[in-house]
């Protein structure tokens, strides 16, 4: 089954492609722009590669199985969003809010999670190679079975995150942090 195009998806009676265009005008400070509010939207299996949703409201939205490769998402609010099996490779999520989001089995290699709120997020079995988690809040986050090879975890308090079953041997860890052996 192929991916859905934004012009074929509606949210609150509007085409998502129109919401994205209006958001782009907002982001550039142009007339007729408005911040994208896609709270609770069903964007599952959507082709959103390369979109600009910087600062967008995406709380509780469903992105399951969507393609967000190369998207610009800094400062976006993904609280409680479903990103299960989403393709997030090489996205910029700097300072985004992903509290309580489900990113299980997501392809998130090369993602910039710098200064993100990832509290209580679910990253179980996610592909997180080369992801940057510097200064991220990971309190209560679950990384069980995730691939975190060469992930950057410096300056991140890992004490309240569940890293069971994660091989951190190639990750850049915080000073003084001793990982438990992967089981």
Question: How many CA atoms lie within 13 Å of 1's alpha carbon, on the beta-carbon side?
Answer: 6
Q: Average of pLDDT values for 77-96? A: 98
Q: How far apart are CA 126 and CA 3, in angstroms?
A: 21
CA distance 83 to 33: 27
DSSP 120-171: T-B-TT-B-TT-B-TT-B-TT-B-TT-B-TT-B-TT---TTSB-TT---TTS
Query: Rounded to the nearest 5°, which phi and psi values hold at 92?
Result: -105, 110
* Closest to 34 measured CA to CA, from 47, 46, 25: 25
Contact 140, 160 (CB under 8 A): yes
Summarize pLDDT for 64-84 with one digit per residue, the tens.
Answer: 999 999 999 999 999 999 999
**In the chain, where does DSSP find H-type helix?**
16-27
- Indicate whether 39 pLDDT > 80: yes
- In angstroms, the CA 156 to CA 106 distance is 21
Mean pLDDT, range 164-170, rounded to an integer: 94
Sorted by where each starts, the structural domains of the chain and their CATH numbers stand as 36-183 (2.160.20.80)
| Residue 17 burial (C-beta neighbours within 10 Å; 0-12, 13-18, 19+) | middle
pLDDT at 100 over 60: yes
Q: How far apart are CA 133 and CA 33, in angstroms?
A: 32
- Summarize pLDDT for 101-116 with one digit per residue, the tens: 999 999 999 999 999 9
């Amino acid at each position: 089954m192929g991916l859905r195009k934004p012009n074929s998806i509606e949210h609150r009676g509007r085409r998502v492609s129109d919401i994205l265009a209006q958001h782009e005008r907002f982001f550039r400070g142009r007339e007729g722009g408005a911040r994208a509010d896609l709270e609770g939207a069903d964007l599952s299996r959507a082709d959103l590669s390369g979109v600009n949703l910087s600062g967008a409201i995406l709380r509780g939205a469903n992105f399951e199985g969507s393609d967000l490769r190369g998207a610009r998402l800094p400062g976006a609010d993904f609280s409680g969003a479903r990103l299960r099996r989403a393709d997030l490779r090489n996205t910029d999520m700097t300072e985004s809010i992903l509290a309580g989001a489900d990113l299980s089995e997501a392809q998130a290699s090369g993602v910039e999670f710098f200064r993100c709120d990832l509290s209580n997020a679910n990253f179980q079995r996610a592909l997180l190679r080369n992801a940057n988690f510097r200064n991220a809040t990971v309190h209560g986050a679950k990384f069980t079975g995730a691939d975190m090879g060469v992930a950057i975890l410096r300056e991140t308090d890992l004490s309240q995150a569940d890293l069971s079953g994660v091989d951190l041997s190639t990750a850049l860890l915080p000073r003084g942090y001793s990982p438990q052996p992967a089981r």
